[in-house]
Structure 1
Amino acid sequence: MSAVTTRAVRPATDADIPVLARLMSEGNPRHPITTQTWAHQLQELRGHPLGPHVEQWLAEENGPGGRRALGMALILQPPGMYHPDRYYAELFVAPTETRRGVGAALAEAVDLHLRGRGAREVLAGAYEDQPWGVEFLVRRGFSEVIRYFDNVLTLADFGSAAWEGQAPLPAGIRVLSFADLAAEVGMDPAITAYHTAFSEVREDVPRPAPPTPLPLDTFRTRLLDNPLFFPEGILLALTEAGEVVALSELERDDGDPARLNTGLTGTRRAWRRRGLALALKLAGLKVARETGVREVWTGNASTNRPMLALNERLGFRPQPAFIQLRWGGV
């Protein structure tokens, strides 16, 4: 009698985190994720004061050679844009298993679960150089909301000397790293000053829905527990009174020690158009060069023309866009 091969989709458990991280990294090699980081992010979501729902699935094949992972899917309520009826979904199929119905089987499990929870809005996405992913979502009733561009600067191509003196700071403003500020005033006051600026700046970042306020305690925990936390790479512009008026964040990459990723960069409303974003970007690139990294990555929404233009001036080069799509709405 020949051995029977079966396929099934099942809920994933924490024991599956290494497989889930591998499938996500294979599906999105631009932004790989390690087992450690995915475990940390899940723990962070589960401990969030809003209590966001998170669920994951694995598609597997059982045959003569044993059990083999074919793909994974996940949904979560994004705490940064929280609404009890809004969800974010991701689905990845192993590169060797495409066009075998794995994605459809995972989508069916996700759809059944979301309908059971009464979801009214679902966000998902795919890169523009993966048109099959976009078409997969469009066939299921999704439509485009916004595009995000990864922009990459190779430091060997960056002419830092040409920028000397090009971004003078306004009178009374100095630039410190978060590490230096914490050493100067103490960790808690540094976090509080950083959080105040961060909270205002993120309100104006383009996104599909308004941001949910991030409490100070949650901000502190997320900052200090982050395995990619790089305090020397968080650059802050401060007044003489110690108020943070602009910021630019760098964090280490999950799988490439020669790469840094940019988080939030921005200026508080009363201090805009004074060159602070450029000054902080240049300070960050100096840190990157001194750290010995090869590349700096940043991401911007297609509607954020000022930041896209600034990155282009510095020599960042756009990569294929990530197209975010939405089903329903709240």
Structure 2
Amino acid sequence: MTVTVRELRADARADLEAYVRVRDLALPFMLYSPDSLAYDLTHMHPDAHYRPLVAEEDGEVIGTAQVGLVYDSPEPGQGYVNVYVHPERTGRGAGTLLVNAAEEHLAALGVSRLYAWVLDAPANRAFAERRGYRASRSAHFLLLDLANGTLPPLETPPPGVELRTGADFEADPRPLFELDAATVADEPSDVDNEFTDYEAWLRETWHHPLINHELTTVAVVDGRPAAFSLARTDGRSRYGTVMTGTARDFRGRGLAKLAKNDSLHRARAAGFTEAVTGNDAGNGPMIAINKWFGYETAATEVRYVRELG
């Protein structure tokens, strides 16, 4: 049996479905769909050089790789490769072939530093370390049972604070872009990101098919968005928050917790049964908030780094 690697075909529905199926089996803590994957392929910023790869064995997709440049970082020459193989198809060389193809592609683009998320399991970590990657920070995937769990009761916003939904900003989402940019800049990470391109943010975040404006909650103070919880859904039963944060001058007032609690309650009322999110292991305040809601750690990933050249 021969394993081969090729680019994902954006115009082939079967390809998109196979990619998502492998990702769901290997990493069932993130929200994906064939339509969202197709959207990413056609709307990702050209400077990202986004190039998803698949590994095939006898016509069956058994492995996937996300490959691209960190184009929104102020430090040039950074790339990423995240490889996930079907749990029942490991040991066939798919991971090695995917990493080889990704590294070759990124090196040709002038990348000098590679980042890879690796599930925190001995075999996965050993695979990365054999290839010269060194462990950096870690992050947790968190799950919350919305159907059977008990959420904290809804709170009345304090005087001067109003809760709105993302749908209230559809005519002019720029204030949310500015809030998102400010919170991303303060997130703990070994890769600095800067949101400076409003049009790119609109394409890649605000208009993304998984984003749910109605379940996104924004805490507004004196007409200014001060905190928010940005929601995604899979259109079926799963809901996720991809960013919850507060502008610097409004921190310490419980506004992020207020916004996320409102969003979670409305997601449950809308029929969603499972909530997913993720936290950098160094983000103590957000980890504490999610524990307060009842989230439990489902898995941990470790960020690995390799210097090229």
TM-score of the pair, normalised by structure 1: 0.83
For the pair 1:213 / 2:201, whether they are aligned, the reply is: no
- Cα–Cα, structure 1 residues 71 and 314, in superposed 2: closer, same or farther, change >3 Å? closer
The whole-number CA distance in structure 1 between the counterparts of 2:205 and 2:113 is 29
Q: Which of 171, 174, 196 lines up with 2:162 in the alignment?
A: 174
- Give 1:147's aligned residue: 138
Which runs of structure 2 are paired with 1:1-330 in the superposition (5 Å)? 6-14=2-10, 15=12, 16-31=15-30, 33-45=32-44, 48=45, 51-62=47-58, 67-81=59-73, 83-128=75-120, 130-160=121-151, 163=153, 165=155, 169-179=157-167, 181-182=168-169, 187-189=170-172, 191-240=173-222, 242-253=223-234, 257-328=236-307
Is the 1:195–1:216 Cα contact (8 Å) retained in structure 2? yes
- Cα–Cα, structure 1 residues 267 and 61, in superposed 2: closer, same or farther, change >3 Å? closer
Report the CA distance between 1:268 and its aligned residue.
Answer: 0.7
Is the 2:31–2:240 Cα contact (8 Å) retained in structure 1? no
Report the CA distance between 1:312 and its aligned residue.
Answer: 0.8
The whole-number CA distance in structure 2 between the counterparts of 1:329 and 1:312 is 39
Structure 2: gaps (5+ residues): none
CA RMSD of aligned residues (A): 2.4
The whole-number CA distance in structure 1 between the counterparts of 2:149 and 2:6 is 48
The whole-number CA distance in structure 2 between the counterparts of 1:287 and 1:238 is 18
- Cα–Cα, structure 1 residues 239 and 88, in superposed 2: closer, same or farther, change >3 Å? same
- Cα–Cα, structure 1 residues 111 and 215, in superposed 2: closer, same or farther, change >3 Å? closer
- Cα–Cα, structure 1 residues 223 and 188, in superposed 2: closer, same or farther, change >3 Å? farther
Is the 2:3–2:92 Cα contact (8 Å) retained in structure 1? no
The residue type equivalent to 1:163 in the other structure is P
Shifted more, 314-323 versus 89-98: the winner is 89-98
TM-score of the pair, normalised by structure 2: 0.89
The residue type equivalent to 1:208 in the other structure is D
Larger Rg: 1
The whole-number CA distance in structure 1 between the counterparts of 2:298 and 2:210 is 23
| Number of aligned residue pairs | 306
Is the 1:77–1:83 Cα contact (8 Å) retained in structure 2? no
The whole-number CA distance in structure 2 between the counterparts of 1:156 and 1:21 is 25
The whole-number CA distance in structure 2 between the counterparts of 1:200 and 1:121 is 25
The whole-number CA distance in structure 2 between the counterparts of 1:290 and 1:158 is 13
The whole-number CA distance in structure 1 between the counterparts of 2:244 and 2:214 is 15
User: Of Structure 1 and Structure 2, which has the larger fraction of its residues in helix?
Assistant: 1
The whole-number CA distance in structure 1 between the counterparts of 2:257 and 2:117 is 30
The whole-number CA distance in structure 2 between the counterparts of 1:327 and 1:25 is 26
Structure 1: gaps (5+ residues): none
- Cα–Cα, structure 1 residues 102 and 159, in superposed 2: closer, same or farther, change >3 Å? closer
- Cα–Cα, structure 1 residues 58 and 265, in superposed 2: closer, same or farther, change >3 Å? closer
